[in-house]
Amino acid sequence: MFEIPDKQIHIRLSAHISKKLKVKCAAESTSMQIFVANLIADKIQGSPKKQPAEKSQKAAIIELLHECPILCDVDEIELGNLAEVASIVHYTKSQPIIREGEVPDSFQIVAQGLVKVYKASPSGKEFIIDIRRRGEIFGEISAMDEVIVHYASVQAIEETDVLTISKKDFVTFTAQNPKVMARITSLEMLRISHLYSKLINLVSDKADQRVAKVLYALTCKYGSNLQFTHKEIAEMSGTTDETTTRILTSLKKKGILRLHRGNLEVLDKSKL
């Protein structure tokens, strides 16, 4: 398993090293503790180890596969075979799953928790393209035989379990189940339509409308209790933290929102 060790470790750093670390963490938008913890874990254990699917897990995996829209009508036997080659990998909060530029080697389905799909600009600004939850897929680019690289990064935004299938196994599976490939294509086109909407929103809406649209979309998908920080809302809207805070407080004053630390509640979706 890949987890931050329970034991506390105390580290003393010289001032300039500490400063550099701070800058790096800021650029990667991660906390120093998590960064160092992951660094240590990486060093000690290498990449997250795949956990072979145990018998007790197999039923759970098949249930997850059933919940995945692109696999919903694949027959039981095929799903069983797929479950055999799948494994569950746990990622801690803020742990990277895919880094932009890496060569795809596996297809993934979120089993539990949330991941963000995002892209960072050279200047360090991040834009969250999508949030995926249980049953939603990513890394589907590995189903392609061309040699391409990941064009976005994926990171867990809370404790997350991810079902992982190696590229080789997934290619074999799709070859035997052409309908799955068709569903993936269909999904990609749907995602393109969402991207088009995001583009046109970015060029034509002001920051407050963009934030409102993000909140509206999140509410539609996740309900009125949203476990996101202002920073995350900002990165989904393409604005800065401060601007987002201002917009959120103004929405609060209008009675549309209730703000708490690290989460917010939408009281009146229709007013967004």
Q: Give the footprint of its own copies on this chain (CB under 8 A).
A: 119-121, 123, 125, 127, 129, 140-141, 143-146, 148, 151-152, 178, 181-182, 184-186, 188-193, 195-205, 238
Residue 56 vs 123, nearer CB to its own copies = 123
Two tokens at 18?
A: 């500490």
Q: Least distance to DNA from the beta carbon of 197, Å? A: 17
Task: Scan residues 202-241 and list those touching DNA (CB under 7 A).
Answer: 206-208, 229-231, 238-241
Q: Does the footprint of DNA cover residue 121 (CB under 7 A)?
A: no
Query: Which of helix, strand or coil describes residue 158?
Result: coil
Q: Does the footprint of DNA cover residue 16 (CB under 7 A)?
A: no
Instruction: Report CA 95 to chain centroid distance, whole Å.
Output: 10
Q: Does the footprint of DNA cover residue 261 (CB under 7 A)?
A: yes
Pure H helices in the chain: 15-27, 32-45, 55-67, 76-85, 167-176, 178-204, 207-222, 230-237, 241-253
| Angle (deg, nearest 10), helices 241-253 and 230-237 | 110
Q: Which does 189 bind (CB under 5 to 8 A by kind): its own copies, DNA, none?
A: its own copies
- Cα gap 119→111, rounded to integer Å: 23
Residues within the interface to DNA (CB under 7 A): 8-10, 18, 22, 25, 31-33, 206-208, 229-231, 238-243, 245-246, 248-249, 252, 259, 261-264
